[in-house]
Amino acid sequence: MSRVRIAEDEQQHKRLNQVEGLLQRADHVIADADQLSRESPQQVEKLCMGGCCSRHPRSTHKFGKQIATILQEVKHLKEDGDFSDVACKPPLPSATKRPSEPTVGLESYVNQVWSSLQKEQVGVIGINGLGGIGKTTLLNQINNKFHDTTHDYRVIWAVASQDRPIER
């Protein structure tokens, strides 16, 4: 666990899913072992003749099987828990959050562009128009939606200035 903490705290890495799963399994085993540990004094009281035989053999046998099961789970955890890497660098965000002001009257355009981008066959959207009509504000809103959601896209922000004519 110390390797995971170092990777997460000092190196700002994200723990691997396999490591997370193993740690969750370990937490369950620890909880089960703690429960058996709390029950053990009662089980010892059920023994007689210096602990050689039990006054309640069925109960003692069941308790022994529970201990054996936990030991088997610990063995599996140790076998499964040999990781060369426990964490990796988190993925870079696909979009950098941009400052944007609340929109007035652009919500329908934001929703229209966003729903178009959700279609599998759409990969690029171009927006053009006269200066001051809200193109940048619209794109800021779309960009921030990308920032706030999980997806496989990358946002590339390109600006074509009025001073530079675009030729074919």
pLDDT 10s digits, 18-39 = 888 888 888 998 998 888 888 8
- pTM, two decimals, is 0.45
| Lookup: tokens for 148 | 């706030």
Same domain for 78 and 135? no
Let me know how long the chain is.
Answer: 168
- What's at 123, amino acid-wise? G
Q: What mean pLDDT comes out for the span 136-159?
A: 76
Tens digits of residue pLDDT in 57-106:
777 778 788 888 988 888 888 888 777 788 887 766 666 788 877 777 88
Same domain for 110 and 38? no
Same domain for 84 and 122? no
Last residue of a domain, one of 88, 122, 156: 88
The rounded distance, in Å, linking the Cα atoms of 42 and 37 is 10
Domain that includes residue 147, residue range: 92-168
Same domain for 135 and 116? yes
The rounded distance, in Å, linking the Cα atoms of 71 and 66 is 9
Q: How many structural domains does the chain have?
A: 2
The residue among 1, 11, 10 whose CA lies nearest residue 88 is 11
The pLDDT, as a whole number, for residue 100 is 78
Over pLDDT 90: what percentage of the chain? Answer: 1
Same domain for 78 and 99? no
Give a three-class secondary structure readout of the chain: CHHHHHHHHHCCCEECHHHHHHHHHHHHHHHHHHHHHHHHHHHHHCEEHHHCEECCHHHHHHHHHHHHHHHHHHHHHHHHCCCCCCEECCCCCCCCCCCCCCCCCCHHHHHHHHHHHHCCCCCCCCCCCCCCCCHHHHHHHHHHHHHHCCCCCCCCCCCCCCCCCCCC
Same domain for 19 and 77? yes
Determine contact, residues 129/113, Cβ cutoff 8 Å. Answer: no
146 versus 50: which is more confidently predicted? Answer: 146
The pLDDT, as a whole number, for residue 1 is 63
Tens digits of residue pLDDT in 128-138:
878 788 888 88
Same domain for 13 and 84? yes
